[in-house]
Amino acid sequence: MEHYGEQTASGHLHVPAASKVPYADDVLAGLHTDAQAVIARYPNARSALLPLLHLVQSVDGYITGRGITFCADVLGLTEAEVSGVATFYTQYKRHPNGEYTVGVCTNTLCAIMGGDQIWDAVSEHLDLGHDETTGDGKITLERVECNAACDFAPVVMVNWEFYDNQTPESTIALVDDLRAGAPVRPTRGPNRQCTFKEMSRVLAGFPDGHADEGVGAGPATLEGLRVAHEHHWTAPPSSFSGPEADHADLAADARDERAVVREVAVESLEGARQATDTTQAGE
């Protein structure tokens, strides 16, 4: 896998020739069966493209040339249209991906909580840059943007499962365990770490039975709720139901937020006025 993920001088990715070798008959038959189940969920077949690309990754480990052809054939699209989508989203890999995608969040909050140090340490430990894969095919390392888990920063994800409050040391231990095949369990969510192909099949819409395992919202996520209970804050009542209620709730929330902002501004002004009075009295 020494060249995968690297670009030629003209900017093209090195993709193995096997990417275009046709599927074996039994694999193709399985893909067609699964694809029909996915397509049946949508009023328009072409709407199934995103899950079908995940389905291709669940078989091939990345978006192969033959996978592009398969999606185009079953959805009545051109290969150019399928490629255009596959190259737009970063979750679709255009070259062989590791068994575990390790994403180090270096967005604002994680960065200031140590994400940059984690990235530097793991990148050096594995001798990998962004979107590069270890020679044993186990780990693909990525710099990722916010994982929507800022309450547990700095966060590392493995195939989109959370590893909260990480350090350079804990992340190095994590990638070493993954490479060694040692049992690894995410901080929240499922009881075991899934592989890239397994995760891709779930994203294609085929549950693996692990969805309800483990912790969902941790203490940091629930902190706001705890404070609200402590102060007996509740959502404003609504006399509507249905979509109107959502609009009314949002409008009420906005009104409440404006009231709080006004209250804080008045308090600030009052504080400033008192400080000025005190200073002038002391002169």
Residue type for 160, please? W
Q: How many residues bind ligand FES (CB under 6 A)?
A: 11
CB of 110 to ligand FES, least distance (A): 3
CB of 150 to ligand FES, least distance (A): 4
Asked if 217 interacts with ligand FES (CB under 6 A), we say no
Asked if 105 interacts with ligand FES (CB under 6 A), we say yes
Among 110, 128, 174, 194, binds ligand FES (CB under 6 A): 110
Q: How far is CA 131 from CA 16, 91, 92, 103, 127, in A?
A: 16, 11, 12, 9, 12
CB of 163 to ligand FES, least distance (A): 11
Asked if 167 interacts with ligand FES (CB under 6 A), we say no
Q: How far is CA 82 from CA 77, 193, 202, in A?
A: 7, 30, 20
Asked if 147 interacts with ligand FES (CB under 6 A), we say yes
CB of 258 to ligand FES, least distance (A): 27
Among 146, 220, 248, 252, binds ligand FES (CB under 6 A): 146
Q: How far apart are the first and last CA of the chain?
A: 76
> Toward ligand FES, which CB reaches closer, 143 or 197?
143
Asked if 118 interacts with ligand FES (CB under 6 A), we say no
> Toward ligand FES, which CB reaches closer, 5 or 103?
103
The C-alpha atoms of residue 72 and residue 79 are separated, in whole angstroms, by 5
Asked if 107 interacts with ligand FES (CB under 6 A), we say yes
Asked if 220 interacts with ligand FES (CB under 6 A), we say no
Structure token pair of residue 83: 């490629």
* Burial bucket for residue 190 (CB in 10 Å: 0-12, 13-18, 19+): middle
Q: What is the DSSP secondary-structure string of 66-100?
A: HHHHHHHHHHT--HHHHHHHHTTSTTS-SS---SE
> Toward ligand FES, which CB reaches closer, 85 or 155?
155
The C-alpha atoms of residue 100 and residue 275 are separated, in whole angstroms, by 57
> CB-based contacts of 83: which residues, under 8 Å, 6+ apart?
68
From 2-10, 106-114, 118-126, 236-244, give the range in contact with ligand FES by CB under 6 A. 106-114
> Toward ligand FES, which CB reaches closer, 81 or 151?
151
Q: How far is CA 251 from CA 163, 231, 240, 246, in A?
A: 36, 22, 13, 9
From 12-20, 92-100, 146-154, 272-280, give the range in contact with ligand FES by CB under 6 A. 146-154
Q: Which residues bind ligand FES (CB under 6 A)?
A: 105, 107-110, 146-147, 149-150, 153, 155
